[in-house]
Structure 1
Amino acid sequence: MNNQASAVNLQGGVAVITGAAAGIGEALAREAALQLGMKVVLADIDEAGLARVAADLSAQGASLLTVATDVADAASMERLAAKTREHFGSVRLLVNNAGIETLGFSWEIPTAQWEKILGINVHGVVNGVNAFAPAMLDSGQPCVIANMSSIAGISIAPIQASYVMSKHAVLAFSECLHLEMQMKSANVQISAVLPGPVKTQIFECIEEQLDTVAAEHRQQMMALLDTNGMSAEAAAQTILQQLSAGKFWVSTHPEMTQMMAEQRARHLSSLATPALDMESAFEADA
């Protein structure tokens, strides 16, 4: 993959991670605090989860700030940015990680659930950039904004249309944002993070009632993660290494990402009728 390569020293800096109460966000927080010595701001709407992660990391000597945050609410994200600046100062790494999954036929997903997933997965990323980017630009110091897309951002899938749509949007936003940052400043690196199968609770956390088809799909995806997924800890290490190396395209499963990107490119270049071919991609990292 063609990638930018201007290294950023994250060691000892300030990291803000949304969705830090579980999954990849929690693993990123642990890696940043304990291995990179970063001062970490834990942001999540799950206050109990935040308290659990913070208590464990604090006991290991990490320097932390926890802020209950609804990423879908612009005012909440602005409060997060203000509290971060007041407590720790300039931010070196912002990871717009918070995200949820929804399963079901698109026309059967309630409007409120559509609004929720787009509010968190898409507007949450935009709100994070709006809240933090101005000060990061003004700092003049090398820093990173990492937006959590997914290999779903370069693929298509039934029953997961709302999630796939949101991750396509995050990727397109990140690409445009990279170009804008190049016009304004060289100090703010933009990275699009495209995790492959990682063992998290994202499918277990789905709240809505599922019909038979969606419920079966959920079980299949949970089994796929259990069989092929890397640990969240390994994913976090890989992600932070690539962010430090200055990469725009950040992947936990490079061969899988490359194959799926090539499949998507062929599909678009030939204007082919949508079709699904997941098995060959998953075989790439087997």
Structure 2
Amino acid sequence: MARETDNRDRDAFAGGVAVITGAGSGIGAGLARRAGELGMTVVVTDINQEGAARTVGEIEAAGGKAEALRVDVSQPEELDRLAETVFARHGEVRLLINNAGIETVGYTWEVPAARWEATLNINLHGVIHGVRAFVPRMIESGKEAWIGNLSSVGAFGAMPAQTAYVVTKHAVQSFTECLYLEMQLKGLPIHVSAIVPGMIRTNIFNAEAGDGEPAHSQAHRRAMFEMMRDYGMDLDEGCRLFLEQMAEKKFWAHSQPDQSEQIIAGRIRFLQEQIPPIMPDIALQIARD
């Protein structure tokens, strides 16, 4: 069964060009490595040039093809330049994954304006302008293509002290749903997926990722980091599952469907019964610690 799925991956993606933002580390790097394994030419973009180069080195060491480009997705003009460069160099893009994102921790009124703006610009506007920059060229090529936008299980719930991140993921999820419908309405051969990571082992909660946050946010970061480290899914396994589901043209691409279903069920209850927001157990645990 796994071999058949792997063949579907290769049938869909081998020989094509993949563009992945925020691919210098974390889920972006995992997706880039997997795309390389499937025989794609991977354009690895990240604001961290060294991180992007490291991912390219890993892909090439495994026999794949990749190139690194420094891109700041918070700047729409950089995404325009990226699209122009990639299409001029390669002629088409088969797989676009708008992955770049940061976690922000702190109470809503304590997060500095600069950190709020960075979170909105990277997590949300980076996705919106990635689509805006690439889709017209994808349409013009007339080729079948895939777009994956990084949502989260956080898109279906609420988490105190992670408000900035959760707000962006709710918005990305809605944006991706609308984008899917637009492709249907226009009859375009572009398949859209919401990539929904659950608890996956990445560095998103590392202490150094919290520059510009309130000082007391570090305890929250440490608790979340330790939970992901101890109970999270292997990164490469999650990324393999994401690309399998995208190859199957599924809108929903989950790492841990059971975890997603549990959180979505809570959201459904909240909306149907119009009860107050439900406090996550982990939030209470962190507050006690």
Q: Could you state the TM-score of these two structures normalised by the residue count of structure 1?
A: 0.91
Residues 83-134 of structure 1 show CA distances to partners (whole Å, capped at 9, x for unaligned) of 1112222111000000001100100111111000000000000010011111
1:247 aligns with 2:250: yes
Equivalent residue runs for 1:9-158 within 5 Å = 9-34=12-37, 36-158=38-160
Do the aligned partners of 2:106 and 2:213 also contact (CA within 8 Å) in 1? no
Root-mean-square deviation (Å)? 1.6
Provide the secondary structure at the position in 1 that maps to 2:105.
coil
The match for 2:168 is: 166
- Confirm or deny that 1:266 pairs with 2:264: no
Alpha-carbon distance, 1:137 to partner? 1.8
Secondary structure of the 2:64 match is: coil
The percentage of counterpart residues that share the same residue type is 40
Cα distance in 2, alignment partners of residues 58 and 82 from structure 1:
24
- Paired with 2:155 and 2:167, the residues of 1 have a C-alpha distance of 7
Paired residue secondary structure (1:192): strand
Q: Which amino acid aligns with 2:211?
A: E
Greater mean deviation of Cα atoms: 160-169 or 77-86:
77-86
Would the aligned equivalents of 2:71 and 2:79 in 1 still touch at CA under 8 Å? yes
Gap runs ≥5 in structure 1: 1-5, 280-286
Partners of 2:214 and 2:201 in 1: CA distance: 21
Gaps of at least 5 residues in structure 2 are 1-7, 283-289
Aligned pairs, how many?
272
Cα drift, residue 178 of structure 1 = 0.9
- Give the secondary-structure state (helix, strand or coil) at the position aligned to 2:72: coil
Counterpart residue identity of residue 168, structure 2? S
SS at match of 2:131: helix
What residue identity is the alignment partner of 2:43?
V
Structure 1 stretch displaced more, 256-265 or 160-169: 256-265
For 2:253 and 2:34, the matched residues in 1 are separated by 16
- Structure whose residues are more often helix by fraction: 2
| Secondary structure in structure 1 of the residue aligned to 2:13 | coil
TM-score of the superposed pair, with normalisation by structure 2: 0.90
Q: Are the aligned partners of 1:39 and 1:88 in contact in 2 as well (CA < 8 Å)?
A: no
The residue type equivalent to 1:208 in the other structure is: G
2:188 paired residue number: 186
Aligned equivalents of 2:13, 2:22: Cα separation in 1: 20
Shift of 1:209: 4.5
1:190-205 to structure 2, matched below 5 A, reads 190-204=192-206, 205=209
Query: SS of the residue aligned with 1:106?
Result: coil
Q: In structure 2, the residue corresponding to 1:198 is in which secondary structure?
A: coil
Partner AA of 1:224 in structure 2: M
Residue by residue over 1:27-55, the C-alpha shift from the partner in whole angstroms, topping out at 9 and shown as x without a partner, is 11111112x10011011100111122223
Return the letter of the residue paired with 2:254. S
Match of 2:287 in 1: none
User: What are the Cα deviations for residues 48-100 of structure 1, in whole angstroms up to 9, with x where unaligned?
Assistant: 11122223322333222221101111110011111111222211100000000
Q: Is the 8 A contact 2:33 2:58 kept in 1?
A: no
- Aligned counterparts of 1:278 and 1:93: Cα–Cα separation in 2: 37
